[in-house]
Amino acid sequence: MSEPILQATAVFKSYSLGKRRLEVLRGIDLIVQRGEFVALRGASGAGKSTLLHLAGGLDRPDSGTLLVAGTDLSMLSQTQLTTFRNRRIGLIFQAYHLLPELDALENVMLPGRMARRPAAEVRDEARELLTRVGLAERMEHRPYELSGGEQQRVALARCLINRPELILADEPTGNLDTRTGLEVLELLLSLGPERGTTLVVATHDSKVADRAGRVVVLEDGRVVGAIAADQ
Long-range Cβ pairs for the range 216-220 (8 Å, 24+): 216/30, 216/38, 216/39, 216/40, 216/41, 217/41, 217/42, 218/28, 218/40, 218/41, 218/42, 218/46, 218/47, 218/48, 218/51, 219/42, 219/43, 219/46, 220/26, 220/46, 220/47
In a domain, residue 48? The reply is yes
In a domain, residue 12? The reply is yes
In a domain, residue 179? The reply is yes
Residue 108 lies in domain: 6-228
Q: How many domains does the chain have?
A: 1
In a domain, residue 94? The reply is yes
- pTM for the full predicted model: 0.92
In a domain, residue 90? The reply is yes
d(CA 94, CA 172): 5
Express each pLDDT in 165-200 by its tens digit.
999 999 888 888 888 888 888 888 888 888 889 999
CATH number at residue 157: 3.40.50.300
* pLDDT value at 221 more than 80: yes
In a domain, residue 209? The reply is yes
In a domain, residue 1? The reply is no
d(CA 7, CA 198): 13
User: Which of 168, 193, 227 shows the shortest CA–CA distance to 48?
Assistant: 168
pLDDT, residue 179, reads 86
In a domain, residue 154? The reply is yes
Spell 65-96 as b/e; 16+ CB within 10 A means b. Answer: ebbbbeeebeebeeeebeebbbbbbbbbbbeb
Express each pLDDT in 109-133 by its tens digit.
999 999 999 999 999 999 999 999 9
